[in-house]
Structure 1
Amino acid sequence: MAQQRFRMSVSVLALALGAAGAPVFSQTTPPPAETPIAGDAPAAGPTQVTQAEDIIVTGSRLRGAAPVGSSVISLGRNDVVASGAVTTDRLIRQIPQVFDLGVSENSRGQSGGNGNITYGNSVNLRGIGPYATLILVDGHRAVNNSRAFDPSAIPTLGLERVEVVADGASAIYGSDAVAGVVNLIPRRTLDGGEMSARAGISDSGDFTEYQTGLALGKVWSTGQFMVAGEWVRRSNLSGDDRTFFRSNQTGSGGRDYRVNRCNPGTITANGINYAIPTAGVTQATAGSLVAGTTNLCDDVIGQDLFPKQEYISSNFTFTQEVNDWLTVFADGFYTRRKFSRLPASASATLTVPQTNAFFVRPAGFTGTSYTLGYNFLRDLPLNVNPGRARNWEVTPGVRIKLPQNWQLEGIFTYGRGNDQSNSYRGLNNAALNAALASNNPATAFDPYGLGRTSAATLAAISNFVSFSPTLNQFNGYEARLNGTLLSLPGGDVKLAAGYEGQKIQTDLGNGRGAVGTPVVFRRFHREVNSGYAELLVPIFGSGNAIPGFQRLEIDAAVRYDKYSDVGKTTNPKFGVNWSPVRGFTLRGSYGTSFRAPLITQIYGNSNNLFVQTYQNPAGAPIIGVALSGANLGLAPEEATTWSTGADWDVTSRLRLSATYFNVKYSNQVDTYLSDLAILSREAQFAGTNIILRGTAARDRVLELLAQGITLSSGAFPGGSPNNVTLFVDGRNQNLGVSYTEGLDFTANWRVPTQTAGTFTLNANATYLTRFEAAISPNGTLIDRKNTIFFPLKFKARGSVTWDYKDVRMQLTATHVGGYTNNAVTPVESVKSYTPIDFSVGWTIDGDGSKRFTGGKLVVGFEVRNLFDIDPPYVNIAPSGNGSGGYDATAANPVGRMLAVSVRKTW
C-alpha cells in the first residue's frame, strides 16, 4: 500500500511540474539555423526564439511567417536526442495529441487497421482518423504504401526537427490534412559527424531492441551535404509472456473467454457436448465420453503482441548556391522494414461425418455427422506472417531569387514503394473437408487426439498460401512563388502561390490458394492537379503599434484540387493573430478540409470472406463472417475546422499556451473488417446492412460464394456456410459523421540557479470535451468520448529535467486518463495509466584540438516504466488484431525496460 501511494505521489508530482527534454513540446516558431544555408531549414535550438527571414514553418507557405491562427508543436534536434526514441514514429507518439488508433504495429482492431498488413505505424492526431493526418517530408509529399506514410522512414539521426500543426490545413496542403499536418524536416546544418548506439531489454528479458546509427555532414560557405543511416532491431513480444493477455479473466472480475476449440477438442452432437479425454478417444473407448462436459482453452497461445521488426532507414540532404540568384537542393530517403509475426495456432469448428476413418460415435447418437471444436496446435506448424515494407524517393529542386525579394522554387519527387505481406501454411479448407470425409486412414484427418493423421495429409491441409503485395509509384511536381507584394506600416504584405501535380500508380496483388497459386495484380492510376494561394496582411506591427494593438495580422488561403477519379474540391482557410500587449497573443482560424479516399479503399486489396471471432456484449464470443472488397462509389470526406487560442510569454523563461479546437467531419470513410467489437454498437447500424444476423447472414454469404468470392481465412462454423449466423460487411463505406471539440495546454518553464544547475519543466496535455459520432449521416449522434477504441478524454505528458555541470537527469510521466469499456454489459470503468520514466546522461568533452576525438561523448542510462506498472485491466477477449485483458491502444504491454546508450559527436 505504501509503495502504491509512493507511485501515485511521483506521478502527480511529475505531471504537476511538467518538464523538458522528453521531449520539449513547444508551441512556438522554430529557431533560425546556427549556420544558415541559402534559405534552408534551420537547426533546432532554444524554445523561444526570433524567426529567421527564410524559414518556412509548417502550416504556412510564406517565408518568414508562422501559421496565423494556428499553433505549431515543434520538436527540435535537442528534443529528438533527449526523447530516447529509437525510431521517428515513436518520437511523435510521445505527443499527447497523437492517439494509437488504427495504423499501429500492435493493434489493428480499429478503423483502418485491417489495411495495415505490414504492421507499420502512422500518426493519428486527436484520434480523428488514421488517414486524416498528412505527413510531409521537408514540406512536400512522399511516397507511401497507398494507405499511410510511416515516419520511421526518416532516421532520427537524419532529423532536424518535427513540426506538428494540429489544425485543418487542406487549404495549404490538400488532401489528408483534416486533423493536421506533421512535417519531418531533415538535417541541413550538421557540420561534422554523429554516431549513436543504444541497447534496451525488458527486465524480464523477453523483449529487446537495439539501435546503431551514423550521420555525417559538411557545411561550406555556399552549401551543405548530409547523409544519415540507422539500423534498428526489435524482438517480438509474445502474449504468452504477459499474464494480463489471457482468455480466462474471471480472476480479474471479468469473463471466461476460453473456447472449446482445443486439443483435445470437444464433440457437439445433437446439442450435447462431450469433452475428448486428454489421452484421446477411439470407438472402443467411446464410453469415456461424458455428456455435458467441455474442454476449454485459450485459443491465442503463442500469438505476438509486437511482431519482430528490423529497420534500415537512411536519408540525405544537399544544398548548393550556384550563384547569387540560383540554388539547387535535394533530399531523399531509403527505408526497408522487415517483420515477422507469430500468430496463434489455427483452430476451427469442424464438421466430422460418419465416413471419417476414425469416427467416434458417442453413446445414444444416431446422426450422420456432428461438429467438433478443434485446435491444430499439435498437428500443424504456425502460419508465420513475414513481410517487408520498402520505400525510397529523391526530391531535387531549384530556388531562384527574383527581384524585390521574390523567390521561385521548383521541385520534382520520384518515389517507389513495395509492401509485401505473406503467409505459407494457412488452412486449406477444401483439403481439410476432404480429409474429414475420407474413410481411408492414410488420407483421413484424425481430430480425436491420437495423432494418426499422415504427414502427407497434414501437409495438404496446411498448404494454403497468401500473398498481398502492394507496389506504388509516385511522381510529384511543384512550382512555388513566394514574396512581398508591398510594405505597410504594420509590416510586409506577403503572397505565396503555387501549383502541385501528382501521378500515382498502385498495383494491388493478390494470391490466395494452394501452393503454386499465382499472384494476380490489378493496376490503378490517379492524377491530381492543384493550385493554391496564401496572403498575409499585417495591419499592426512594430512600425505602427498602438496600445491594445501591438500586433494584428490576417491570413487567407485557398486551394483547388482536381482528382482524376474522385472529382474536385475547393477549400479556404482564414487566420488571425492579435497581440493587445507585448508577449500575449490571441489567435483564431477557420477553414474547410477534405480527404480523398485511398485507392486501396476504393478498390480493396481483394474480394474475400474472413471467418472471425467477435466480442459479444451479451455473452460468449460469436463466430461470424466478414467481407472485404471494392466499393467504387466512395466519395471524398469533408470537414469544417476552427480553433482559437492564446500564447502568453509570462517571463523570458515561462511560456503558457492554450488552444480550443472544433472539427466537424462528415462523409467519413469507415471500414469494419477488423472491428471485432462491432456488436457493442449493433443498434447503431440498423438499416445499413453492415451487420446481418440469422438467415439473412447465411443467405448473404451463400450469395457471395455463388459470385465466386472465396473464403480466405478460417473455417465456416460447423464446416458449412449454411451454419453462418453473423455477417459483417467490412468494405469501406461513406457513412460516418463526427464532432470533435477539446482543449490543448502547454507550459514551458526554465529555472536556472547559481549553484544547483538548471531545472527545466514542461507539460503538454489534451482534453477532449466532445466526441460524438453517428454511423450514418442521418443517424443519431452517440457520445463516444472516453470509450474503448475511441479518443480518450485526457492525455498528458510532463517531466522535469535537471542539468548540473556535465550531468543531466530527467523524470517523465505519461498519463492516460481512465475511460469506459462499453464493449461489455454491464459497462466497465477502466483505470488510468501513468508510467514513469527516468534517465541520466553524462557528457564528456573531447580533445578540441583533434577532429574525431573532439566534440562530445554522452553516455546514458534509462529506465522506461520505472515502477513496472501493468496496463489497466480491460474486460475484452483476446483477438488476432490486438488487445485482450488490456487495451493495446492505450497502454504499453512491455513493462519495465532498461536501456544504455552512447552518442558521439564531432
Structure 2
Amino acid sequence: MHRITSRRRLALVSGVALAALGWSNLAAAQDTPSPATDSVTPADGQSASQQGRTGAPAPVQSDAAAAGPVTIGAEDVPAADIVVTGSRIRGAAPVGSSVIAIDRRAIEASGAVTTDRLIKEIPQVFDLGTSENSRGQSGGNSNITFGNAINIRGIGPYATLTILDGHRVVNNSRSVDPSIIPSLGLERVEVVADGASAVYGSDAIAGVVNLIPRRTLNGVETIARMGAARNFHESQFGIAAGKTGDWGQVMVAYEHVFRSNLSGDNRDFFTSDQRRYGGRDFRVSQCNPGTLTVGGRNYAIPQGGVTPASAGQLVAGTANLCEGFTGQDLFPETRYDSANATFTVHLTDWLDAFGDGYYSKRQFKRFGGYTGATVSVPGTNAFFTRPPGTTGAETVQIRLDDLPNNLSFGSTESWQTAGGLRAKFGGWEVQGQVIYGRNDDVSNTPNGINTPALNAALASSNPATAFDPYGLGRTSAAVLAAINDQVFNAPTRNRFTGVEATVNGTLFDLPGGGVKLAAGYERQELEVALGIQRGAPTSPLTFRDYDRQVDSGYAELYVPIFGSANALPGLRRLELTAAVRYDKYSDVGSTTNPKFGANWSPLRGLVIRGSYGTSFRAPLFSQIYGNSSNIFVQPYADPALGGAIVQGAALSGGNTALRPEEATTWSAGLDWDPLPGGRISLTYFDVNYTGQVDSYLGDLAILSREAQFAGTGVILRGAAAAARVQELLAQGITIARGVLPANPTLFIDGRTQNLGRSKTSGIDAVASYTFDTNGAGRFTLNANATYLTRYRSAITPAGDLIDRRNTVFNPLKFKGRGSLYWAYDGANTRLTVNHVGGYDNNTLPNNGVQKVASYTTVDLGVTFDVGDPASRSLFAGGFSVSFDALNLFDRKPPFLDFAPTINGSGGYDATAANPVGREIAVTLRKRF
C-alpha cells in the first residue's frame, strides 16, 4: 500500500490557502442555508441546525439557540431532505431514540482543540481504554500509537461506531480517532447513545458518533489559539473557506494542532510514595544506586557507588527505595495536521453530485521512563563487589539511568475520499457513492534492552566491556549502546473500499402521514497488513496480509399511525419504525439484526418513546491474528503481597477462533417541552453484551481480580508460571520488553479471548432553557448527565456477574456537565461545571476499599465580538477574541491509592480526571 505523498499534502494545504486569498468576492463568512433548503423547526419554534447526509447544505441554527449540546427528540421533525443520525429515513428524526448534537456554536465555545476531546465533553462518553493518557484498561494494550477513540458509557473500547457524514471511515484496524476531521471543518457532531447495528452494521453496540462536515460555509474563517498550563502548552491554527450558491457548495478546511507532553515528574500526585496522601508506599528498590542482594539479604548501595575497597559501607538489611516511573509522560507530545473538504453540485434539477474527503496525520512522541531490572552479577564481572563475609549468588536491583529514557514515537496517517450521485424522482430519491481510504499506523521503540548483550557485559572481566551495576557509572558508551540497541516497530497499513446504494421515499399515505421506506446495499472491502520488526536494527520488517469482504443489505420502514391530520385526544402522534440488516462476512460468518422503535405523543410538547434491537461487533484483524506473539516482562501490583510490585511475564498475540460479540439493547424515554425555549429529555437504557473480546496484556491491575480468572489459565503462579514461560521460550517466543527474572513466578496470558459479558443500564438526562431579558441580554442553561443504575460484568461466560459500577477503571455511576451562557452587547460569557461522582478503589489488599473523592472542575470563558460581524472588510469586522480558563480553580485529581504503571494512573485516575490543571487560553477568530 502506498502512503500519501508530500506533494499531495502540499497541494491540499495550498488549495486551502489559495481559497482564502483568492475569493475576495465572498460574503462575510457564515454558515448559511441554500435557498432551496427547508428549515428545521422543532416544536418550540426555534430552528435546530441539521446537516443532511444527502449532500445538501443545512439550514443555519437560529440565534435563539445557545452554544452547547442540544437534543434532537421526537418532536424535532427535520426537513424532507434531511437524514438524522440513527435512521436512514429522510425527513424523520430517529423513532424511539434521541440524538445528542454538538452544533457549530458549541464547537466554537468549547475549550477543546481536537475533535476527540470535544466529543469527550459529553458525559455519556467515558475515557476508558483507547486513549492517549490511559491504556491500562480493555483495548489499551493495542493502542500503540496513543490515539483516541469514543467509548460511549464505557461499555467497550470498540463498541461505538464513528462515521463521517453517514458513511464508514477507514480505521487503523481497531478504531477511528475522531480527530481525523479538524474541528474547523465540522458542522456538527451527532451522537446516538443506543444500539444501531440494524441501521449501520458492526460496532454500533453502545451507539454511533456521526462527524458531519461543513457544507454551508460561505466565506473564509481563520482561527488561532494558544493555551498554557504549568509545564504544558498547546496551540491551534486553522483556516476554512467555502462558497454556496444555486449551483451547490464547496468547502475546504485545514488545521494544525500541537499539544506538548506532560511528564509525570511535573505532577506531584503521580507518585510511588503516596504516604503523604494517606496511601501506601509503592516505591521500588530498582534504583540508582540500587540494592545488592546476597544470600537473601539486602544491602543498599550508598550514594556515589561501591567498590571492593568500600564494601565495608554495605549494611545488611537495608535497601534503596525510589520512584519507579521517573521520566514517564502522562500523555505524549502530539502534532495534528488535518484537512477536510466537501462539495455538492446541482447538475440538473433532479441530479446532484456530492462528495467529501479528508487527510490527517497525527505524530506522537512519548517517554516511558527509565528501565528497571534485577540482574545477576557473576564473580567474573570486572567491577564485582561483595559484602564482606558473604558467599553465594549475587543480584543487583537497579534502574538503568545510564541508558536513555525509553522512547516511543510514530504517527497515524489517514486519508479518504467519498463521492456519488443522487437522483430525485417524484417523492423518491436514489443515491449511490463510492468510498476509498487508507490508514498507516507507525510505532517505533528504538532503545529496547538487549538481554544477551547485558548478560555478556555483566559476565565480562574486562573493564572496557563490562557493565557496572554498582553505581559509579563506569560502563563504556559502546557497551551501553550495545545493551540498548533493540528496536520494536509495529506498523499497520489499512485500505478500505466501500460501495453504497440506497433508495428512499414514500410508499403510500396513511391518515397519519406518509409511510416511508429506506433500503440499501453496502459492500466493504478491507485489507490490512500487520507489520513487525523486533530485535537488532538490521532485523527485517515483515508484514502479514489479511483481507475481509462484507456484503450487507438493510431496510427501514417508517409508519405514522397518527399525525396532525388524524390526531385524537391522547393520540396526537404515534409513529412506528422497523429496521433490519443482514451482514455477511468472508471470515467470521453472517448476522441479522433488527431494531424497532415507537414514538407516542399524547399531547403537544410531550413524546414518549422506546426502542429495542440487537447489535454486534465483528472481531478486529489485530484481535484475530495479533501483531506478534511475544513475552513482555512487566510490573504488577500484587494484592497478595500488600500491593507490592512483582515482575510478571505476559504473553501477547491473537486468537483465530474469535467470533463476533453480540448485544441486545432497549431504551425508553420522553422528550418534554414544558415551556417556550425549554426542553427536557430523559432516557432509560439497557445493554446486555455477550462474547466480549478482551485481552489482558496491558492490564497491570489484573491481580486485583485474580479469583475471577480461576480455571481460565489466564493467570498462573509459582511453578506453573515458570513452566509455561519455559515452554513458550522453547517454542521460539521471544522477550519483547524487560528483563525476565531467573525464576519467573507470575505468568499472564494476555492474548485476545471471547470471555467477557456485561449488563449495563442507566438514565440519561438532558435539559436546556433559553430566555431573553429586558436589558440584560439572553441566558441559556444547559445540563447533561448520565447515571448508571447497573454495570455488572463477568470475565468468563460461566462466571458470576459482579457489580463493577463505580469502581476504579470501570464505568462510574454519575457524570454530569452543566453550563450557563450569557449573551449581552457583543460579549458572550460561558460558565461550565464538569462533575464526576466519587467511587470505590477496590484494589487494596485484604478486600480493602478506598473512597475516591468526586471531581468537579469549573471552566470560565468570554468572547468579545469586535466590529461589524457582517462586514466584508479584512479589518473592519467579523473578528472575535476569546479568553478561557479551563479548570479555573486548578482542581487537582482526587487521590487514588494505586501504584503507578507504565500505562497511566497511579496516585490519580487517568480515566476520570485531567492531570493538566488550570489552563489559560486565548483564541482569535476572523471571518471574512
**TM-score, with normalisation over the residues of structure 1?**
0.95
Q: 1:97 to 1:199 in 2, by over 3 A?
A: same
Partner of 2:395: 371
Query: Equivalent of 2:110, from 76, 80, 83?
Result: 83
Question: Which structure 2 residues correspond to residues 211-222 of structure 1 after superposition, within 5 A?
Answer: 211-222=236-247
Matched, 1:394 2:411: no
Partner of 2:171: 144
Identity of aligned residues (%): 61
Matched, 1:570 2:592: yes
Partner of 2:48: 31
Amino acid at match of 1:140: H
Question: Which string of whole-angstrom CA distances, capped at 9 and with x for unpartnered residues, describes residues 803-850 of structure 1?
Answer: 111011111100000000011132110000001010011112338563
Matched, 1:466 2:513: no
Question: Which structure 2 residues correspond to residues 144-223 of structure 1 after superposition, within 5 A?
Answer: 144-202=171-229, 204=230, 206-223=231-248
Q: 1:465 to 1:35 in 2, by over 3 A?
A: closer
Query: Equivalent of 1:244, from 269, 293, 298?
Result: 269
Q: Following the alignment from structure 2 to structure 1, what is the Cα–Cα distance between the partners of residues 709 and 215?
A: 52
Partner of 2:349: 324
Q: Following the alignment from structure 2 to structure 1, what is the Cα–Cα distance between the partners of residues 244 and 874?
A: 16
Question: Which string of whole-angstrom CA distances, capped at 9 and with x for unpartnered residues, describes residues 850-891 of structure 1?
Answer: 354465211110001111110000001111100010000000
Q: Per-residue deviation at 1:269?
A: 1.2
1:250·1:256 contact (CA, 8 Å) conserved in 2? yes
Matched, 1:656 2:676: no
1:387·1:421 contact (CA, 8 Å) conserved in 2? yes
Amino acid at match of 1:560: Y
Amino acid at match of 1:69: G
Q: Per-residue deviation at 1:41?
A: 4.7
Partner of 1:350: 375
1:807·1:841 contact (CA, 8 Å) conserved in 2? yes
1:395·1:411 contact (CA, 8 Å) conserved in 2? yes
Amino acid at match of 1:31: A
2:714·2:749 contact (CA, 8 Å) conserved in 1? yes
Partner of 1:483: 505
Partner of 2:570: 548
2:55·2:343 contact (CA, 8 Å) conserved in 1? no
1:41·1:56 contact (CA, 8 Å) conserved in 2? no
Amino acid at match of 2:872: K
Local SS of the residue matching 2:127: coil
Local SS of the residue matching 2:673: strand
Q: Following the alignment from structure 1 to structure 2, what is the Cα–Cα distance between the partners of residues 308 and 183?
A: 27
Local SS of the residue matching 1:699: helix
Structure 2: any 5+ residue segments left out of the alignment? 1-41
1:43·1:188 contact (CA, 8 Å) conserved in 2? no
Partner of 1:226: 251
Local SS of the residue matching 1:359: coil
Amino acid at match of 2:918: R
Matched, 1:712 2:736: yes
Partner of 2:648: 624
Q: Following the alignment from structure 2 to structure 1, what is the Cα–Cα distance between the partners of residues 152 and 294?
A: 51
Amino acid at match of 1:781: L
Partner of 1:674: 698
Partner of 2:749: 729
2:225·2:235 contact (CA, 8 Å) conserved in 1? yes
Q: Per-residue deviation at 1:444?
A: 1.1
Matched, 1:860 2:878: no
Amino acid at match of 2:399: N
Q: Following the alignment from structure 2 to structure 1, what is the Cα–Cα distance between the partners of residues 52 and 160?
A: 32
Q: Following the alignment from structure 1 to structure 2, what is the Cα–Cα distance between the partners of residues 35 and 609?
A: 49
Q: Following the alignment from structure 1 to structure 2, what is the Cα–Cα distance between the partners of residues 294 and 278?
A: 12
Q: 1:416 to 1:38 in 2, by over 3 A?
A: closer
Q: Per-residue deviation at 1:381?
A: 1.4
Question: Which string of whole-angstrom CA distances, capped at 9 and with x for unpartnered residues, describes residues 432-486 of structure 1?
Answer: 0111111222211110111221221111000011111011111011011111000
Partner of 1:877: 899
Question: Which string of whole-angstrom CA distances, capped at 9 and with x for unpartnered residues, describes residues 122-179 of structure 1?
Answer: 1000000010000000000001111110000001110000000000000000000000
Local SS of the residue matching 2:95: coil
Partner of 1:11: none
Partner of 2:364: 339
Q: Per-residue deviation at 1:515?
A: 2.0
2:763·2:786 contact (CA, 8 Å) conserved in 1? yes
Matched, 1:809 2:829: yes
Local SS of the residue matching 2:810: coil
Query: Equivalent of 1:697, from 711, 721, 724?
Result: 721
1:40·1:54 contact (CA, 8 Å) conserved in 2? no
Partner of 1:311: 336
Question: Which string of whole-angstrom CA distances, capped at 9 and with x for unpartnered residues, describes residues 334-391 of structure 1?
Answer: 0001110012111111111112121112223221x322101111x1112321110100
Amino acid at match of 1:759: F
Local SS of the residue matching 1:634: coil
Matched, 1:636 2:660: yes
Q: 1:37 to 1:516 in 2, by over 3 A?
A: closer
Question: Which structure 2 residues correspond to residues 433-452 of structure 1 after superposition, within 5 A?
Answer: 433-452=455-474
Amino acid at match of 2:704: S
Q: Following the alignment from structure 2 to structure 1, what is the Cα–Cα distance between the partners of residues 110 and 482?
A: 50
Q: Per-residue deviation at 1:621?
A: 1.4
Partner of 1:262: 287
Amino acid at match of 1:441: P
Q: Following the alignment from structure 1 to structure 2, what is the Cα–Cα distance between the partners of residues 583 and 661?
A: 22
Matched, 1:96 2:123: yes
Q: 1:149 to 1:676 in 2, by over 3 A?
A: same
Amino acid at match of 1:136: I
1:33·1:189 contact (CA, 8 Å) conserved in 2? no
Matched, 1:382 2:405: yes
Local SS of the residue matching 2:639: coil
Structure 1: any 5+ residue segments left out of the alignment? 1-25
Query: Equivalent of 2:132, from 105, 119, 130?
Result: 105
Matched, 1:599 2:626: no
Q: Following the alignment from structure 2 to structure 1, what is the Cα–Cα distance between the partners of residues 694 and 844?
A: 22
Partner of 2:154: 127
Local SS of the residue matching 2:568: coil
Local SS of the residue matching 1:353: coil
Partner of 1:301: 326
Local SS of the residue matching 1:835: strand
Partner of 1:888: 910
Q: 1:366 to 1:597 in 2, by over 3 A?
A: same
Local SS of the residue matching 2:692: strand
Amino acid at match of 1:64: G
Query: Equivalent of 1:614, from 636, 640, 643?
Result: 636
Local SS of the residue matching 1:279: coil
Aligned length: 872
Partner of 2:553: 531
Amino acid at match of 1:679: L
Partner of 2:798: 778
Partner of 1:6: none
Q: Per-residue deviation at 1:37?
A: 9.2
Tell me which moved more, 851-860 or 457-466.
851-860
Q: 1:315 to 1:847 in 2, by over 3 A?
A: closer
Q: Following the alignment from structure 1 to structure 2, what is the Cα–Cα distance between the partners of residues 507 and 522?
A: 5
Local SS of the residue matching 1:342: strand
Amino acid at match of 2:246: S
